[in-house]
Amino acid sequence: MADLPTRRDFRGHGGQTPFRRWPNGSTLAVSLVVNVEEGAELAISMGDETNESVYEAVQQVVGGPDLCMESHFEYGTRAGWPRIRRTLRAFNVPATMNCNGRAVALSPWLAQEAVSDGHEIASHGWRWETHAGMDEARERKIISDCATTLTQVSGYPVVGWHTRSATSVNTRRLLIEHGGFLYDSNAYNDDLPYVVNEQGKPHVVLPYAFDTNDMRFYGGGFVQPEDFSNYCIGAFDELLDESRNGVRMMSVGLHLRIIGRPGRIVGLKALMRHMARSGDVWFARRDEIAHAWRKMNGLPDWIPAT
């Protein structure tokens, strides 16, 4: 058999979960992640090199501001967030707000409203962009600038990070060197958190998910609100059943400008009603899950570097 060098871990927990309950006694942790990206998309009017091209209807303007694309993104803060906020309040469920630094700099009131409702503010990078191939010095500055801005606006230290899709090979190391990050969500490879040792330090990874995610309304994966709720309910029910033999975690990805539309929010409400009826569930912020996972693995309490 060939000896192939790799840093990748294909086994993970090996189908075995040593823990039967989360700290609150539940078996399934549900993490709602609300992505706040509005104003951080590429826009020539913001001094960027080009305009954003990723949206449901693409008619990209080249060489000047794309007012159509900008207005699509603005819907998220103007109409989507109030609708999502009301829904989270109605079900009394905390969320993690995955925030681009530039988006929060433009709409600080949104982060402040989220904090007042008990939600976590986590970092989603400065702009809505991938970090793959990014120069190390530039990425280090982005991480620092984003953490500083989000902390200043929210009034609380930002301890979570999630790059838009592809990270660089340096991202996790730079997060640990920064010293202010308890966890990152830069993985899609499990239904459980896990701990990696980077530079001799234990670091929690909370895998994210692209299937239980409203982004599938782009491209026709989801069309009706029931497509979103039915798929997520199916995943929830299966994970809840599996969690009888060991804890599980479910991530639900949401975006202001996507699920915040009136024709789609009913899908989120249906999902929330179903999960709320199920009983043995812990609705938790990602920082809460990361702290719990450290404790469950016998690791000392995490303290940010000063």
Domain-embedded: residue 162: yes
Tally of CA atoms within 13 A in the half-sphere of 141 that contains its CB? 5
Residue-level pLDDT at 7: 75
Flag whether 20 is in a domain: no
- HSE of 187 in the Cβ direction (CA atoms, 13 Å)? 20
Question: Which residues make Cβ contacts (< 8 Å) with residue 77, sequence separation at least 6?
Answer: 36, 38, 39, 107, 110, 256
Position 263 in a domain: yes
Q: For residue 73, tell me if it sits in a domain.
A: no
Q: Identify whether 219 is part of a domain.
A: yes
Q: How far is CA 55 from CA 93, 164, 184, in A?
A: 28, 15, 26
Is 229 within a domain? yes
How high is the pLDDT of residue 297? 94
In a domain, 18, yes or no: no
Identity of the residue numbered 293: W
The model's pTM is 0.93
13 assigned to some structural domain? no
Q: Minimal CA–CA distance to 217: which of 255, 190, 251, 188?
A: 255
* Domain tally, the chain: 1
Q: Which domain holds residue 105?
A: 28-40+83-296
pLDDT of residue 16: 77
Average pLDDT across each block of 10 residues of the chain; the chain has 306 residues. List them in order: 69 78 94 92 76 64 73 93 98 97 96 98 93 95 96 96 94 95 97 92 96 92 97 98 95 97 98 92 97 96 84
Closest to 288 (Cα-Cα) out of 20, 12, 31: 31
Q: What is the CATH number of the domain that holds 113?
A: 3.20.20.370
State how far the Cα of 74 lies from the Cα of 39, in Å rounded to an integer. Answer: 7
